[in-house]
A and B are shown apart, each in its own frame.
Chain A
């Protein structure tokens, strides 16, 4: 465990993140232009989706695909209930703000997922290729749970626009690209990968490093600007909730009899907090909640925790419990 944690901390990926974080905290003018950051995120989504599809084409689909999708949806819908209960107990957040934050912790961070697959690849641990589809399926259910949590007690949500909001979430660019690339990879298989592997395999880790440099900058700026936004209870939540989510993911993965890599990715998905789809959805549905609360928690607390400590922990646990 210690060796893996140290290797992870000293990997180019994590050190790039630390560089960005340090630069932002030191108020350096280092920045990644918005268009470059978006281009890198498109690249990573395409590459991870495509490779997942190729893996499914290569190894075939077994009966756990449907169950894994169902498990992911249930996890995404249920975790906000746990997160909401904890937040109401330990933080000073009101009901609406707690629900908005809880939605982030039911949904997933695709960057954390990508970093998780990078660790597994570097250690030669195989995982089910369809976990990419599970990641996509886990984006939206948490939002519905959060809106339900708020709607139970108030009229604060804009219920008339809920259908439009769901349409936006389900068809947001990240999900469309991820699932689309997954489908292309599945259809074209290893032969398709052979045609473009010099584009999506070899440069992948390098692009991930640059992207995480940018994530470090964004997280560092979030830490600076978010100072005073979160109380101690909310901060503690941002560190404890990933472990609770990972435990739930571990349970689902073990229940489904998945491989060590698949279980580790289930843990990563359940432990991560959204920073793309859910913040945008919450700005539309619950505009009264200060976005600095959930963006700071998701980006500046939980994401760094998962990247540095969480990922090696989840991989080690998954390996230990499956004998992998």
Chain B
């Protein structure tokens, strides 16, 4: 089957920054993304867990975008402007998609 090259960008960021990040992505022309809750984890800033939390202060979410390779730089610039001072991780991996016109 014919597949097409794409980039998968995963941005793990604090829950409080989710709306700001997705707004920045949309302003950069990235209208398709998926948001996943992060159950818990640990990193440079210590551990976190969703269990029992009623505050958004200590939760994390993951925003996943799949885009055409040529649109990667604007996305990263927009994302970095939001993520830079905050706790989070940005990873980029090569991906293959079936319907290129959708990205």
**Chain A residues in contact with chain B, CB under 8 A?**
31-34, 37-38, 41, 161, 214-215, 217-218, 221, 225, 275-276, 279-280, 282-284, 287-288, 290-292, 295
Q: How far is the CA of A86 from the CA of B85 in the complex (A)?
A: 28
- The verdict on A38 contacting B57 (CB below 8 Å), with A280-B16, A284-B16, A291-B45 known, is no
Query: Which B residues, 62 to 90, have Cβ-Cβ distances below 8 Å to chain A?
Result: 85-87
A295 touches B85 (CB 8 A): no
Q: How far is the CA of A291 from the CA of B60 in the complex (A)?
A: 13
Contact of A34 among B20, B50, B57 (CB under 8 A): B50
Contact of A280 among B49, B50, B51, B57 (CB under 8 A): B57
Chain A contact residues: helix, strand, loop or mixed: helix
Q: How far is the CA of A126 from the CA of B45 in the complex (A)?
A: 45
Contact of A275 among B17, B20, B50, B55 (CB under 8 A): B55
Query: Which B residues, 1 to 22, have Cβ-Cβ distances below 8 Å to chain A?
Result: 14, 16-17, 20
CB nearest neighbor in B for A216: B52
Chain A residues within an 8 Å CB radius of B46: 225, 290, 292
- The verdict on A218 contacting B53 (CB below 8 Å), with A280-B16, A283-B14, A287-B85 known, is yes
25 residue pairs bridging A and B, Cβ less than 8 Å apart: A32-B51, A33-B51, A34-B52, A34-B59, A37-B51, A37-B54, A41-B54, A214-B52, A215-B52, A218-B53, A221-B49, A225-B46, A275-B57, A276-B55, A279-B57, A280-B56, A282-B57, A283-B16, A283-B86, A284-B17, A284-B20, A287-B86, A290-B45, A291-B57, A291-B58
